[in-house]
Structure 1
Amino acid sequence: MNIVEKCMVVSTGENPDANALECLSKEILTQVRTVGAKGVLLNVSGLSFVDSCSFLLLRNMAKAVSMLGARFVLVGFQPGVASTAVDLGLDLEGLNTVRTMEDGLEMIRGLSGAGLLVEEQPETKDEDVPALIEESSDARGAASGESGV
């Protein structure tokens, strides 16, 4: 993880499984709180496929980051992954996606995409962070019965 302009830049790596995404989510949530990040850019360009469980974990990660008062942007979906997500009928509403890191930084800074940015959230207390991490972890169990690609 790197920090650029109070924004965390993180990569999923190549085709992480649900356990790896769950661990990544926990690390991101902890670091957002620790470093006071204003946003998270998650580079998903290493994903060559998506299943419903992994996608749900990404959505829950976005929600949890938002609850900590930071903005969350997915960067670099491959065309096939985007197409598959739509074909599977996965709920894309509320997800901020861009093609490049530069576009992501602009979105987080609020320079583009009016209406696409997550609203400011009330301050989260330190004791709330474990509950947010637990909610994110629960996504794996909730999605385990869903089929994917």
Structure 2
Amino acid sequence: MRDFHEIQIVDGCLIAPVPAELEESVLEGFRRNVLEQVCSRSVKRVLMDVSSREILDSSGYTAITDCARMIGLLGAEVVFVGFQPGVVSALIDLDVDMDGLTCACTMEDGLSLFRAMDVPDDPEDDGDGEQDMDSEELFESTESGEDEDFK
């Protein structure tokens, strides 16, 4: 059985192995520990490792996805890694809502996904093809009347 002490940081990512036992008290302890780690370590990325789960019912699934949503509310991204084929099949059969989930097969794939999500070389480039201003430039342009959008 995996326990809460296996939570670690790798490449700036919190690795959170979901416990093999999905009893309510175990899940509550796991959730509390992961949320505390995200806050105390200012983590922005979490890999939730579900590879120890050979069976996952809809209530267990709801518990771990609720935990992921809580992590998101703390400002961190979550990628699930290691779903077993049988678990995936069962979740599809149960018709659970998987919208918004980001998943990867392995830890390395999950870390690669996070690397791909990294900020572009120019931190002011949001990818829209337009030159962006920082707040100081915006303030200066509105003071001088250069920006017609604000009139």
Q: TM-score, normalised by structure 2?
A: 0.69
Larger RCO: 1 or 2 (CA < 8 Å, sep 6+):
1
Q: Which runs of 5+ in 1 are unaligned?
A: 113-149
What are the residue-to-residue correspondences of 1:1-149 with 2, within 5 Å? 1-111=7-117
In our comparison, the structure showing a higher alpha carbon Rg is 2
Structure 1 residue 111: Cα displacement: 4.6
Equivalent residue letter for 1:48:
E
Q: 1:86 to 1:92 in 2, by over 3 A?
A: same
Number of positions where the alignment pairs a residue of Structure 1 with one of Structure 2: 112
Does structure 1 conserve the Cα–Cα contact (< 8 Å) formed by 2:19 and 2:30?
no
CA RMSD, aligned part only?
A: 1.5
Structure 1 residue 103: Cα displacement: 1.1
Q: Which runs of 5+ in 2 are unaligned?
A: 1-6, 119-151
- Secondary structure of the residue aligned to 1:9 is strand
Between the aligned residues of both structures, percent identity stands at: 36
